[in-house]
Amino acid sequence: MSIRLCAFLVSSAASVLAAPHAAPGLLPGITISPGSSTNLPLQILLFLTLLTFLPALIMSVTPFLRITLVLHFLRQAIGTQTAPSNQVLLGIALFLTLLIMQPVLTEAYHAGWEPFEKGQTESAQALKDGAKPIRAFLVRFVREKDIQLFLEISKSRAPERPQDLDLRILLPAYVLSELRTGFQIGAVLFLPFLIIDLVVASITLSIGMVQLPPVMLSAPFKVLLFVLVDGWNLVIGSLVKSFY
């Protein structure tokens, strides 16, 4: 199911990048239909080409963006430059993204791919039906100001309902909204650790201890505070709950 779902999502991305009002079929002269083997080599080539867009989609138009930003700010605030490593942070962000997006992807699979696989709908209609759950998810976290910005840039008319927004407008607006949200959460995470830095710096300067930088002295206290309050559980729990 997961492989077929990935194929369907990549095809959906292709329809967005190609044209908003494309004719049935992903590209002119290429029509993917269930059980068809006429254009199988072209279908495989198209799928492998579009698969290169999948990492960009995962990193920018999923909760992966907000989670990685917050975890990066958290590591900077604690003062441990390489612990946890980038690989660990990316792994945590990826697993949390899969956890959050599983209901949305499952709904998109049942709405778009299953009828298409059974031959009940055409590829264009399947892509349209499968994109509805994804569009509904993105609309929940996008700001009206960001949508208005890209509507003005593209000189498009605002739809009557947010659910009718074109994905070429919705996707970049979602990225901007998530960047803003991630920086807001990161700034809040910095405050308690900044207070510890200020306190340690004032104490060391008042007693004339200049042999060691204040940041090095405050690092153990920040790590100890984070461990005592069970920081990882609080941060990860709050991040996941912010998407529900």
Q: pLDDT value at position 20?
A: 41
Q: pLDDT value at position 28?
A: 40
pLDDT of 79 higher than 60: yes
State mean pLDDT over 207-233.
78
* Region of poorest pLDDT, from 59-68, 164-173, 187-196: 164-173
pLDDT digits (tens, 9 = 90+) for 108-158: 777 777 776 777 777 677 777 777 788 888 888 888 888 888 888 888 777
**164 falls in which pLDDT band (50, 70, 90)?**
confident
pLDDT digits (tens, 9 = 90+) for 8-37: 444 444 444 443 433 333 334 444 444 444
> Could you tell me which residue, 55 or 12, shows the higher pLDDT?
55
pLDDT digits (tens, 9 = 90+) for 172-211: 888 899 999 889 988 888 888 888 878 887 877 777 766 7
**39 falls in which pLDDT band (50, 70, 90)?**
low
If 0-12 CB within 10 Å is exposed, 13-18 middle and 19+ buried, where does residue 157 land?
Answer: exposed
> Could you tell me which residue, 227 or 12, shows the higher pLDDT?
227
> Could you tell me which residue, 148 or 40, shows the higher pLDDT?
148
Q: pLDDT value at position 37?
A: 45
* Region of poorest pLDDT, from 32-36, 90-94, 238-242: 32-36
Q: pLDDT value at position 25?
A: 39
pLDDT of 1 higher than 70: no
**Contact present, 63 and 96 (Cβ < 8 Å):** yes
Q: pLDDT value at position 214?
A: 67
If 0-12 CB within 10 Å is exposed, 13-18 middle and 19+ buried, where does residue 232 land?
Answer: middle
Q: What is the mean pLDDT of the chain?
A: 76
Q: Which string of DSSP letters, residue by residue, matches the chain? A: -HHHHHHHHHHHHHHHHH-TTPPSSSBTTB---TT--TTHHHHHHHHHHHGGGHHHHHHHSSTHHHHHHHHHHHHHHHT-SSSS-HHHHHHHHHHHHHHHHHHHHHHHIIIIIHHHHTTSS-HHHHHHHHHHHHHHHHHHH--HHHHHHHHHHHT-PPPSSGGG--HHHHHHHHHHHHHHHHHHHHHHHHHHHHHHHHHHHHHHHHTT--SS-HHHHHHHHHHHHHHHTTHHHHHHHHHHHTT-
Q: pLDDT value at position 244?
A: 80
27-65 as b/e, with b when 16 or more CB fall inside 10 Å?
eeeebbeeeeeeeeeebeebbeebeeeeeebbbebbbbb
Q: pLDDT value at position 32?
A: 45
Nearest to 219 by CA among 77, 69, 55: 77
